[in-house]
Chains A and B, each alone.
Chain A
Amino acid sequence: MSKSFAIMAEYETPAEIMDAAKKVHAAGYEKWDVHSPFPIHGMDDAMGLDNAKVGYFTFFGGLIGFTTGMTMQYFMNKFDYAIVVGGKPLFSGFFAFPVSYELTILLGAFGSLIGMFVLNRLPRHHHPLLANERFADVTDDKFYVVIECDDDHYDEQTTRNLLEGTNAVHIEMVEGTE
């Protein structure tokens, strides 16, 4: 018998889960999440989530792309294969710009993608919630709050009481995997 992974509460409407999320956030939990069949406007605020950090990955991805584009063309045109074209200088930021700009976008996009994977700790092939039969309804019409047992504030009784104080229609423990 493995240790429990989390406690899970089921809700029927977005308004109820929004209310529950506010209470869980107010109680100071950190390792918890809300699962819903569709995005709920205002949930980020209710959960107290900050702006996603992906933007930094995008920005630095773009910066690396731009620098790469510029230095690459500088090296190639000025040293590696210096050849005068159309009376232009061997290197100029103007002709190097379109390529650098494209690389900015490309590596910016890669940055976003990688950032998203890193921050979400993906790829991951299994998660204890996926073994829970009831949780499958999250893809249909049910809403879930899941508080992990590893959370510092977690206590079997008080956390259960907290969730029972919301409009949860069902509360159960989620089995962990070893």
Chain B
Amino acid sequence: MSDAVTTPAQDSEESTNWRSIPQIAVVFGLVLCMYGLVQDKQQFAFSYLTAFMFFLSLGLGSLFMVLIHHLFDAGWSAPIRRYLEHFSCLLFPWLGVAFIPIGFMAPDYIYPWMQVADPHEDHALYVKKALFNKPTWYAASTLLFLFWGWLTHRLRYWSLQQDKSGTAEFEGKLMFPEHLIASFYKNFQGLPFEKDNQQVLCTRMMRIHAAYGVVLFAFTLTLGAILWMKSIQHQFFSTMYGVYYFAGSVWLTISTAWITARVLKAKGLLPQVHNLQFYHLGTMLLAFTVFYAYIHFSQYFLIWNAAVPEETFWYVLREQGTWAYVSWALIIGHFLIPFLTLLRIDVKLTNKVMVPVFIWVILMHYMDMYFNMMPEIHPDGPSPAVADLGALLLIGGTLIWVFMRSLFSHPICPLRDPRMGEAIEHH
């Protein structure tokens, strides 16, 4: 099995061209960003934040997919897990690095509450001052990336070590807090914790990280969505906001995972994926289409029903001018079209339908992010800017570049995962 996996066609001219696309994107993105920065700093700041939150979705969504894979002891997702681990590892340091410009632009161009000198003057800010003050905001942002870095890299570390289990290359070293967790499971829970069986040790460590990780994942994702997105309009209240960002993130990730699997399979790099994986990803996409709609409707419905000015202003702004069309486009494009398309069972294995759907999903998620950020600086309606494209190319290009480098420097799918047999079995 391993022979077929670890030999990507590195030297052929075609694949070299294919791999230089991200570099070109970064160069173009950088030029466009510079232009955008000179033209209008605030526009650039918002464009950059939109692109950042868009790609953060992918990192967090992939982390979630890896976590639930371990939590449910899933078999089918074993072959697609490795590249999801690479996607999630983009969270640290790369998305963390991408966040630095936001840190610099935040006070002057993005978050109006940072300019309020005295929180007593703004009641909405005063009640939220525990979270919405500069030191907390910067410290919390840093901690989020550090935590995501820890979780994603430990998950990938054990996953990569598992590939080497049973060979001389295996290291499998526990890092500091992992000792405590491991001894807790062994001594207090009485669970067998076979140190001698390297393959089992790796699976156990990944499961342990997934178990506490998923709880902290929920908190950190919510905090991230509140700190970086919701606080653009700090007066707004919504308990749904974190879940809302989460639903969209996983939705985007499923599409990206599907497309990545399709590309890798077409290139002959990941022969282990077959209809089982494509079907399940299609099913999950349908589930998250409904879930997102449910969450966004709930948020809207409660705000509409209660009609409290502190909440309604957020949607009132988004129903003015041409934003109203964007709102409608979200209802129809983010929910109705994918929902009705994905209903039929056979559609999920039809490439002609699924490829456009997945590309559509990516566009819709960007529109959703745009809908969340831009009304603050363009109350009359969406106004596309050069910086939008520039930021997307810059961040996206860098991340894909890093992703491809990690992808090709490790086995493309887990080699010694105990669940692999189940995943590649054909009926």
Given the interface pairs A51-B345, A59-B343, A97-B301, the reply to whether A87 lies near B427 with Cβ below 8 Å is no
Identify B344's interface contact among A42, A55, A95, CB under 8 A.
A55
Given the interface pairs A41-B427, A94-B301, the reply to whether A51 lies near B343 with Cβ below 8 Å is no
Q: Is A165 an interface residue (CB 8 A)?
A: no
CB-CB < 8 A to B345: which residues of A?
51, 55
Identify B346's interface contact among A51, A94, A95, A97, CB under 8 A.
A51
Identify B305's interface contact among A41, A51, A95, CB under 8 A.
A95
A59–B340 Cα distance when bound, in Å, is: 10
Identify A94's interface contact among B300, B343, B427, CB under 8 A.
B300
Q: Is B138 an interface residue (CB 8 A)?
A: no
A98–B305 Cα distance when bound, in Å, is: 12
CB-CB < 8 A to B116: which residues of A?
none
Q: Is B143 an interface residue (CB 8 A)?
A: no
**Chain A residue with minimal CB distance to B425?**
A41
Q: Is B9 an interface residue (CB 8 A)?
A: no
Contact A42 B427 (CB under 8 A): yes
A95–B303 Cα distance when bound, in Å, is: 12
Instruction: Tell me which residues from 311 to 367 in chain B have a Cβ below 8 Å from any Cβ of chain A.
Output: 343-346
Identify A97's interface contact among B297, B307, B343, CB under 8 A.
B297
Q: Is A123 an interface residue (CB 8 A)?
A: no
CB-CB < 8 A to B304: which residues of A?
94
CB-CB < 8 A to B307: which residues of A?
86-88
CB-CB < 8 A to A88: which residues of B?
305, 307
A7–B138 Cα distance when bound, in Å, is: 78
**Chain B residue with minimal CB distance to A52?**
B345
**Chain B residue with minimal CB distance to A41?**
B427
CB-CB < 8 A to B301: which residues of A?
94-95, 97-98
Contact B305 A94 (CB under 8 A): yes
Q: What's the nearest-Cβ distance from chain A to residue B344, in Å? A: 7
CB-CB < 8 A to A94: which residues of B?
300-301, 304-305
A55–B343 Cα distance when bound, in Å, is: 9
Instruction: Tell me which residues from 133 to 151 in chain A have a Cβ below 8 Å from any Cβ of chain B.
Output: none
Q: Mark A66-88, 1 if CB is under 8 A from B, else 0.
A: 00000000000000000000111
A97–B294 Cα distance when bound, in Å, is: 11
**Chain A residue with minimal CB distance to B301?**
A94
Q: What's the nearest-Cβ distance from chain A to residue B340, in Å? A: 10
CB-CB < 8 A to A97: which residues of B?
297, 301
CB-CB < 8 A to A95: which residues of B?
301, 305
Q: What's the nearest-Cβ distance from chain B to residue A143, in Å? A: 17
CB-CB < 8 A to B343: which residues of A?
55, 59
Instruction: Tell me which residues from 4 to 44 in chain A have a Cβ below 8 Å from any Cβ of chain B.
Output: 41-42
A97–B345 Cα distance when bound, in Å, is: 26
Instruction: Tell me which residues from 274 to 311 in chain B have a Cβ below 8 Å from any Cβ of chain A.
Output: 297, 300-301, 304-305, 307
A87–B427 Cα distance when bound, in Å, is: 59
Q: What's the nearest-Cβ distance from chain B to residue A2, in Å? A: 40
**Chain A residue with minimal CB distance to B298?**
A98
A97–B427 Cα distance when bound, in Å, is: 42
Q: What's the nearest-Cβ distance from chain A to residue B300, in Å? A: 7
CB-CB < 8 A to B300: which residues of A?
94
Q: What's the nearest-Cβ distance from chain B to residue A51, in Å? A: 6
A94–B346 Cα distance when bound, in Å, is: 33
A94–B297 Cα distance when bound, in Å, is: 9
Q: What's the nearest-Cβ distance from chain B to residue A125, in Å? A: 32
Q: What's the nearest-Cβ distance from chain B to residue A132, in Å? A: 31
Q: What's the nearest-Cβ distance from chain A to residue B294, in Å? A: 9
A95–B297 Cα distance when bound, in Å, is: 11
CB-CB < 8 A to A86: which residues of B?
305, 307
Q: What's the nearest-Cβ distance from chain B to residue A102, in Å? A: 13
Q: What's the nearest-Cβ distance from chain A to residue B287, in Å? A: 15
CB-CB < 8 A to B346: which residues of A?
51
A87–B307 Cα distance when bound, in Å, is: 9
A51–B346 Cα distance when bound, in Å, is: 8
CB-CB < 8 A to B344: which residues of A?
55
Q: Mark A84-128, 1 if CB is under 8 A from B, else 0.
A: 001110000011011000000000000000000000000000000
CB-CB < 8 A to B305: which residues of A?
86, 88, 94-95
Q: What's the nearest-Cβ distance from chain B to residue A18, in Å? A: 11
Q: What's the nearest-Cβ distance from chain B to residue A115, in Å? A: 15
Q: What's the nearest-Cβ distance from chain B to residue A69, in Å? A: 15
A59–B300 Cα distance when bound, in Å, is: 26
Q: What's the nearest-Cβ distance from chain A to residue B318, in Å? A: 15
A94–B302 Cα distance when bound, in Å, is: 10
A135–B288 Cα distance when bound, in Å, is: 45
22 sample A-B contacts, Cβ–Cβ < 8 Å, listed by A number: A41-B427, A42-B427, A51-B345, A51-B346, A55-B343, A55-B344, A55-B345, A59-B343, A86-B305, A86-B307, A87-B307, A88-B305, A88-B307, A94-B300, A94-B301, A94-B304, A94-B305, A95-B301, A95-B305, A97-B297, A97-B301, A98-B301
Q: What are the 9 A-B residue pairs with the smallest beta carbon separation, nearest first?
A: A42-B427, A41-B427, A94-B304, A94-B301, A51-B345, A51-B346, A95-B305, A97-B301, A97-B297
Q: Given A94-B301, A97-B297, list of 6 further CB < 8 A pairs? A: A51-B345, A55-B345, A86-B305, A94-B304, A95-B305, A98-B301
